[in-house]
């Protein structure tokens, strides 16, 4: 493995690699034969303090493929466990390598991770590789989420490897370079509690606090405060998912971050017609991670986090459980507040009132009844064009619309102010499933990335309501088969 010789602005630190050995394994990315860029995120590179011109080159492709290590890299695979569809198991980075943490000029720290870079000690029989379609899918969805203002990991680059990967068929190989404020997961703490002992658990908890929540570091009950912070951030995050119709698809505990960022865009998708029972993932046959289940599953996952932290809460088991339950019980109220505040903004209610929630629930019920598109319904209301919804001539929607208008009139703020707020929170465009599939098909089949680039340009400004976005708001043709997503591993 060679060291990078171009001066591209790397300022890598390796705080995670200085933790005790049980939390990671040293590993080298497996070299590939012919790395070429499929996509390079110039804006993200520059925000990280990297020289995008120097990295957007063959030398850069060598770095993002793992053939060459950037200066200061100490590649490792992280160890973690997790509850997958409710069942606990040992996991770890089976096809990912953390190169290090890029320190920006402002002092922020971002993990730089290669995904699909080959086998690791945690591969569990897998080949450690990734294919082009799922890596581009993660790039598209994560960048769309970022533009929507939802906390997320991001994609710095995707390179093709010049080598086939075998799944059901032979597919082109690819490697994604992912950035995140960290890859600490609930599963990291489950691993520490199971195999690290109390001191190992304390070590990773202190590390998480120092990295993400330094404001509680000096407090005597800092581990309880850590739990509180994670509960608060996950309640806010999941509410944001619900407000845009995003379905994660695989909410295992190893896919929930301590930072409150969205991570692991496998079988995820955005809902078209509103139906709380919507499931896209081909492997979620029981609907465990359906749209309507995301808040309670988030709460269930957080209970596993609290259980892992119990030894740090108090010496007495009963007291530790009492503290954990006290914090955990706040999730439902926190989530509901974030969701209700968000729904009020989506409908232009800038001054809360007692009748708001019944009015919101009535609208959602009407949308479900008439199979109205989630995003386009709120887009139509934002433009005050109810006539472009499939509910336009129905008595129940007509009555609801009159009530909504009357509610807006009772506010002290003007309607213009209300509609301005609606426009800032109701996206005009989302990564529609059929548009994402079209972009991926062109890229994988023909190496034509122009379809994806055009889609990304539109998704970069979801609240613009521009004429250029109009065609991207259209729904796909009706299909007898439900849309299905796949994990890609």
Assess contact for 92 and 122: CB atoms under 8 A. yes
DSSP class of residue 289 equals T
Would strands 154-166 and 170-180 be described as parallel, antiparallel, or unpaired? antiparallel
- In this predicted structure, what is the pLDDT of residue 2? 64
Specify whether 111 is catalytic: no
| Rg of the chain over all Cα atoms, to the nearest angstrom | 23
151-209 tens-digit pLDDT: 999 999 999 999 999 988 999 999 999 999 999 999 999 999 999 999 999 999 999 99
Percent of the chain with pLDDT over 70: 98
Could you read off the pLDDT of 195-232 as tens digits, one per residue? 999 999 999 999 999 999 999 999 999 999 999 999 99
User: How far apart (Å, rounded) are the C-alpha atoms in residues 378 and 347?
Assistant: 8
Confidence tier at 489 by pLDDT (50, 70, 90)? low
Q: How confident is the model at residue 4 (pLDDT cuts 50, 70, 90)?
A: low
Contacts of 363 by beta carbon, 8 Å cutoff, 6+ apart: 347, 377, 400, 404
pLDDT recorded at residue 174: 98
Check pLDDT > 60 for residue 82: yes
The length of the chain in residues reads 489
pLDDT value of position 143:
98
Q: What angle do CA 71, 182, 38 make, to 5 degrees?
A: 60
> What is the pLDDT averaged over residues 365-378?
97
Q: Which residues pair with 158 in a beta bridge?
A: 39, 176
Q: Which of 304, 356, 313, 357 is nearest to 331 (CA)?
A: 304
Among 472, 378, 459, 376, smallest CA distance to 425 is for: 378
Residue 1 pLDDT more than 80? no
Give the pLDDT mean for 467-476. 94
Is a pLDDT exceeding 90 seen at residue 484?
A: no
Neighbour tally for 190: CB within 10 Å: 25
pLDDT of residue 19: 97
The arithmetic mean of pLDDT across residues 70-85, rounded, is 97
Residue 5 has pLDDT above 80, yes or no: no
d(CA 90, CA 72): 30
Q: In the predicted model, is pLDDT for residue 76 greater than 60?
A: yes
Q: Tens digit of pLDDT for each residue in 313-364? A: 999 999 999 999 999 999 999 999 999 999 999 999 999 999 999 999 999 9
User: Can you tell me the distance from the alpha carbon of 99 to that of 93, in angstroms, rounded to the nearest whole number?
Assistant: 13
Q: CA quadruple 121, 127, 131, 137: dihedral positive or negative? A: negative
pLDDT tens string 425-471:
999 999 999 999 999 999 999 999 999 999 999 999 999 999 999 99
- Dist. CA 434–CA 478, nearest whole Å: 11
What percentage of residues in the chain have a pLDDT greater than 90? 94
- Residue 6: the pLDDT is 65
Q: How far, in Å, CA of 116 to CA of 96, rounded?
A: 6
Please say if the pLDDT value at position 480 is more than 70: no
For CA atoms 280, 282, 287, 288, the dihedral sign is negative
Segment 136-160 mean pLDDT: 98
Q: Look at residue 396 and tell me whether its pLDDT is greater than 80.
A: yes
For residue 292, the Cα-to-chain-centroid distance in whole angstroms is 17
Which entry of 254, 264, 284, 373 is annotated as an active-site residue? 254
Tens-place pLDDT, residues 242-283: 999 999 999 999 999 999 999 999 899 999 999 999 999 889
Helices then strands, counting H and E runs in the chain, come out as: 16, 15
According to DSSP, the residues that pair with 88 across neighbouring strands are: 83
Pairing outcome for strands 68-69 and 170-180: unpaired
b/e map 35-72, b = 16+ CB within 10 Å: bebbbbbeebbebbbbebeebbeeebbbbbbbbbbbbb
| Residue-level pLDDT at 482 | 75
């Amino acid at each position: 493995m060679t060291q990078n010789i171009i001066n591209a602005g790397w300022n890598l630190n390796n705080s995670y690699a200085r933790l005790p050995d049980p939390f990671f394994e040293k590993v080298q990315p497996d070299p590939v034969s012919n790395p070429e860029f499929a996509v390079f995120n110039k804006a993200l590179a520059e925000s990280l303090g990297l020289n995008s011109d120097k990295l957007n080159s063959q030398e850069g492709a060598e770095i993002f493929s793992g053939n060459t290590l950037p200066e200061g890299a100490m590649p490792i695979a992280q160890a973690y466990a997790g509850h997958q569809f409710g069942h606990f198991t040992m996991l770890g980075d089976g096809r990912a390598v953390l190169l290090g943490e890029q320190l920006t000029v402002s002092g922020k720290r971002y993990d730089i991770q290669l995904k699909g870079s080959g086998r690791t000690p945690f591969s569990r029989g897998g080949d450690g590789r990734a294919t082009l379609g799922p890596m581009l899918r993660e790039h598209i969805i994560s960048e769309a989420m970022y533009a929507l203002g939802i906390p997320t990991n991001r994609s710095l680059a995707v390179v093709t490897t010049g080598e086939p990967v075998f799944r059901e068929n032979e597919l082109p190989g690819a490697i994604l370079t992912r950035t995140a404020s960290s890859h600490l997961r609930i599963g990291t703490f489950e691993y520490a509690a199971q195999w690290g002992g109390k001191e190992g658990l304390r070590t990773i908890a202190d590390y998480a606090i120092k990295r993400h929540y330094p404001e509680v570091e000096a407090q005597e009950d800092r581990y309880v405060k850590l739990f509180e912070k994670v509960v608060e951030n996950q309640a806010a995050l999941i509410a944001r998912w619900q407000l845009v119709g995003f379905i994660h698809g695989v909410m295992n505990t190893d896919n929930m971050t301590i930072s409150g960022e969205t991570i692991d865009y496998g079988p995820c998708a955005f809902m078209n017609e509103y139906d709380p029972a919507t499931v896209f993932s081909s492997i979620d046959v029981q609907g465990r991670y359906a749209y309507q289940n995301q808040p309670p599953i988030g709460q269930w996952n957080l209970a596993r986090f609290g259980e892992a932290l119990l030894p740090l809460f108090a010496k007495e088991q009963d007291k530790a459980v009492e503290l954990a339950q006290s914090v955990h019980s706040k999730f439902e109220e926190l989530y509901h507040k974030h969701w209700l505040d968000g729904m009020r903004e989506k409908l232009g209610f800038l001054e809360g009132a007692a009748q708001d929630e019944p009015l919101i629930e009535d609208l959602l019920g009407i949308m479900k009844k008439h199979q109205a598109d989630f995003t386009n319904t709120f887009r139509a209301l934002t433009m005050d064009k109810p006539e472009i919804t499939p509910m336009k001539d129905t008595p129940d929607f007509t009555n609801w619309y009159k009530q909504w208008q009357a509610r807006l009139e009772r506010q002290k703020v003007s309607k213009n102010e209300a509609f301005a707020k609606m426009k800032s929170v109701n996206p005009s465009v989302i990564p529609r499933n059929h548009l994402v599939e079209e972009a991926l098909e062109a890229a994988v089949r023909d190496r034509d990335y122009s379809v994806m680039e055009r889609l990304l340009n539109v998704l970069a400004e979801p609240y613009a309501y521009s004429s250029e976005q109009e065609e991207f708001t259209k729904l796909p043709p009706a299909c007898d088969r439900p849309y299905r997503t796949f994990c890609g591993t």
